[in-house]
Amino acid sequence: ADYQPKPEHKFTFGLWTVGSSGADQFATTFPVRGPKTPAELVRLLGEVGAYGVNFHDNDLIPLDATPAEAEQIKKDFRAALKETGLVVPMATTNLFSAQIFKDGAFTSNDPKVRAYSIQKAMRGMDLGAEFGAKIYVFWGGREGTETDATKNPLDGLKRFREALNFLCEYNNSQGYGYKFALEAKPNEPRGDIYLPTTGSMLAFIETLDHPEMVGVNPEFAHEHMAGLNFMHAVAQAWDAGKLFHIDLNDQNYARFDQDWRFGQQNWKQAFFLVKFLEDVGYTGSRHFDAHAFRTEDYEGVKDFARGCMRTYLIFKEKARQFNEDKEIQALLAEITPASGEMEKFEGKFTAEKAAALKAFSFDRNAIAARGLKYEKLDQLLTDLMMGIR
Ligand code: GLO
Ligand code: NI
Ligand code: NI
Ligand code: NI
């Protein structure tokens, strides 16, 4: 394996990721990297071998741009896409940066803010469609509270639902063919954000008018902030047929939003995630929603972007080795025994089966006495990942 990114790997980055100025909560007015235009960022991504670029409405067109400025930016952006061959698989709306969103967007207590947010999302969908985006992400960054004295969460859910129902109909009315992908995050920037986990989003989707149009965009960092197992969240989304997009990065448990290079910190979790995506045959974008360290210049940003993709491909190769390793596979076969005698109790309920199972006598102690060799298996994986196998 040469670990070189190719279009078929579907590696994408947001304009906001490689375009991050390196500003943080304690240095908002001291960016360490000067701004680059969207067209320049596309060329940077082309240089490192990415397949696609995604954007928020205002990553491409600044909030206060004139129509003439907007046209020029789009023209330059389009030219850079053509030159590099990059595509735009996903677009999204910034409903969290501007002052007007200080109390949320779709769930704000102010009906003017709610209406403005839906207007902004429709315009964002128009913009994404101009560049061929087929996935539209909704991250409700400020849909939440610092104190629940201000809002009833039931109102929050109702407003969020109404907004999405409206936008699903808008999608149909324009014939855009978008699939919506809802992105959960437990907190930051709000004290608490509604629908804090991928699991919450999955349950919420079933309450919408067009559940078939809506899936999820789970993010590694966000599930880790909530102390959860990211791969398990992704698996549940996949099982529900709802894994429409994914945000890859890295994040230590229970910290603020770190948005690190994919695989920087939690190798094992990243490995299991890549293995899962490759084993099930996920065909969507592998989107990196991450930032280079504040210590980096734009050369460092390229190192960061190359690193995200390279690490993914290394884990993909390791997953292949895991699946082809005779000792590991033999052990796996041993620890997941065939049904044998239990087959007659398995599957759908029948009254006879239930009666037979109730009457069956199990040797509980003998069953429990069997060692499962999980220690051995996990060490084989560790050896494999460390490159000594
Ligand atoms: C912030 C989110 C953000 C979203 C983006 C896409 O933590 O991860 O980057 O992914 O706004 O809508
Ligand atoms: Ni995030
Ligand atoms: Ni994200
Ligand atoms: Ni983040």
The preferred substitution site among 247, 255, 260 for testing ligand 1, maximizing ligand atoms within 8 Å of CB, is 247
For the question of residue 9 being annotated catalytic, the response is no
What amino acid is encoded at 163 in this protein? A
Q: How are strands ordered across the β-sheet holding 52-56?
A: 214-216, 179-183, 135-139, 90-92, 52-56, 11-14, 286-288, 247-248
The preferred substitution site among 142, 219, 225, 255 for testing ligand 1, maximizing ligand atoms within 8 Å of CB, is 219
- pLDDT reported for residue 330: 97
Considering every ligand atom shown, identify the ligand nearest to the alpha carbon of residue 14 and give its number. 1
Global pTM reads 0.97
219 C-alpha vs ligand 2 centroid, how far in Å? 6
* Kind plus residue range of the DSSP H or E element containing 145: strand 144-145
User: From the centroid of its chain, how far is CA 315?
Assistant: 18
- The atom of ligand 1 lying closest to the CA of 185 is 7
State whether the Cα torsion 18-232-272-178 is positive or negative. Answer: negative
ipTM exceeding cut-off 0.85 for this assembly: yes
* Kind plus residue range of the DSSP H or E element containing 286: strand 286-288
State whether the Cα torsion 194-196-197-198 is positive or negative. Answer: positive
- Per-residue pLDDT for the chain (389 aa), expressed as one digit of tens each? 799 999 999 999 999 999 999 999 899 999 999 999 999 999 999 999 999 999 999 999 999 999 999 999 999 999 999 999 999 999 999 999 999 999 999 999 999 999 999 999 999 999 999 999 999 999 999 999 999 999 999 999 999 999 999 999 999 999 999 999 999 999 999 999 999 999 999 999 999 999 999 999 999 999 999 999 999 999 999 999 999 999 999 999 989 999 999 999 999 999 999 999 999 999 999 999 999 999 999 999 999 999 999 999 999 999 999 999 999 999 999 999 999 999 999 999 999 999 999 999 999 999 999 999 999 999 999 999 999 99
Contact yes or no for 44/347 (Cβ under 8 A):
no
Which residues line ligand 1 at a C-beta cut-off of 6 Å?
A: 56, 92, 137, 139, 183, 185, 219, 247, 257, 289
For the question of residue 279 being annotated catalytic, the response is no
Q: Which residues face 92 on adjacent strands?
A: 56, 137
pLDDT tens, position by position, 342-370: 999 999 999 999 999 999 999 999 999 99
